[in-house]
Every structure is written in C-alpha cells, then in structure tokens.
C-alpha cells in the first residue's frame, strides 16, 4: 500500500489524540505563537487604520488654521494620532521660548523638539513588532524540531515492528508533517504582516517628517520668524 494512502487513512483526530508528549508540546507552543501573533496583527491593524484617518483629519484642520494657538486649543478633538504627538512636542518648545524670551528666537530647538516627537511616535508604532519578527523566525525551527522528533519516532516504530511496515512508521511521519505545517502556518502570516507593517511605519514616519517642515514654516509665519 502506498505511503500516502496510509497517511490518508489517518484522520486529523486520529493523529491528534495519539500525539506523544514532545510533539504535543511543540504543537501547543506553535499554536500559542500563532494566536499571539494574530492578536498583535489585529491590534496593529486597528492602530494603523486610526492613525491614517486621524492624521488626515488633523492635517486638514492644521492647514486651514489661522494660527498655532487655535490648533493647540482644538487638538484634543482630533483624538490621538502621530501628527498630533509631533505637533505637541514642537508647540511646547515654542511656548517655552515665547514665555521666556517673548519671541521665537531659537529655531533649531524647535526642529530638535519636532525630531524628538517623531522618534517618540515611531517608537510607539514599532511596539510589539519584534514579537512578530520573533514568531516569523523561530516558528519554522520549532516546527523542524517536531519534524525531526517525529521521524525519530517513526524509525523507533519501524524497529519495534521488526519489519518495514508502513503502518509502523505512519504515526511518527504524520506527527512530523503536522508540526511542520503548524510551524509554517504560524511563521508565514507573522512574516507577511511584519513586512507590511514595516512599510506602513516607514510611510507614517515620512508623513511626520513632512509635517515637521510644515510646522516650522507655519511657526515662522505665525511668530514672525
């Protein structure tokens, strides 16, 4: 009987209920990694979607505003967004200069404050990204460990049977294939979304850099440069 016919006779339930401790532990770890990565994916998807939407709303209001004070007074109504975070860093520095010296006299200080704001917001956006990278890189190796263990079990079963019986090796091989499949199922989505979110963070970072230039131009006009 061909080997794959033997495997086909084994249902997923048959394979699962007969799992030995090591393959079962491997699968449990991989399932946990997969669920954990999907939790991060769903959370980050919502964060990026809200960031884009609120950035657009805030940017429209910013470009229509007559002065920075009006934007600062109404900033809370736009919710939290990366651009608002950058704005607040820059505006606080301008407020300090105006209160201490009566004018905007140190433009490089404003620029540095804006860069600090950008760095702060990018750090927030990158939160938990390392976990996606970890799941993407580690899961295949954990699955490979389960694969090797299943093959070892298959050869042990062959030795115990005392003959080259496919029935003897099928359980071990099936365990190996299952752990391999689950390892890839955990790793592939994590890798895809890590790269996708990385490009979105880069896009939002570029948007913040552009906004910092707009902010400095606005501040120079507003406070007489």
Q: Could you say which residues of the chain have pLDDT below 50?
A: 1-10
pTM of the model: 0.80
Q: How far apart are CA 172 and CA 154, in angstroms?
A: 4
Q: 182 is written with which tokens?
A: 């689950």
Question: What pLDDT shows up at residue 169?
Answer: 58
> Could you read off the pLDDT of 52-107 as tens digits, one per residue?
999 998 999 888 888 888 888 887 787 778 999 999 999 999 989 888 887 878 88
Domain boundaries, the chain: 3-222
Residue 215: which of 62, 70, 81, 74 has the closest Cα? 62
Residue 44: which of 185, 184, 209, 204 has the closest Cα? 204
Instruction: Give the position of tokens 């109404």.
Output: 74
Q: How far apart are CA 27 and CA 156, in angstroms?
A: 21
Question: What pLDDT shows up at residue 14?
Answer: 55
Question: What pLDDT shows up at residue 4?
Answer: 40
Question: What pLDDT shows up at residue 2?
Answer: 42
Q: How far apart are CA 95 and CA 203, in angstroms?
A: 29
Q: 198 is written with which tokens?
A: 């990385």
Instruction: With beta carbons less than 8 A apart as the criterion, state whether 179 and 150 touch.
Output: yes
């Amino acid at each position: 009987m061909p080997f794959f016919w033997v495997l086909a006779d084994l249902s997923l339930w048959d394979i699962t209920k007969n799992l030995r401790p090591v393959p079962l532990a491997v699968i449990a770890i991989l399932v946990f990694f997969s669920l954990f990565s999907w939790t991060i994916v769903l959370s980050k998807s919502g964060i990026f979607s809200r960031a884009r939407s609120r950035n657009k709303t805030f940017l429209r209001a910013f470009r229509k505003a007559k002065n920075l004070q009006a934007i600062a007074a109404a900033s809370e109504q736009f919710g939290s967004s990366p651009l608002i975070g950058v704005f607040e860093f820059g505006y606080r520095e301008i407020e300090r200069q105006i209160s201490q010296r009566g004018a905007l006299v140190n433009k490089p200080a404003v620029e540095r404050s804006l860069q600090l704001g950008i760095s702060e917001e990018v750090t927030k956006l990158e939160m938990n990204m390392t976990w996606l990278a970890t799941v993407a890189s580690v899961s295949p190796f954990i699955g490979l460990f389960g694969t090797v263990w299943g093959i070892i079990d298959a050869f042990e079963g062959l030795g115990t049977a005392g003959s080259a019986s496919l029935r003897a090796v099928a359980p071990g091989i099936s365990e190996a294939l299952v752990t391999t499949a689950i390892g890839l199922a955990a790793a592939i989505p994590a890798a895809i979304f890590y790269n996708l979110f990385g490009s979105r963070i880069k896009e939002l970072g570029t948007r913040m850099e552009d906004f910092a230039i707009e902010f400095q131009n606005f501040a120079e006009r507003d406070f007489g440069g």
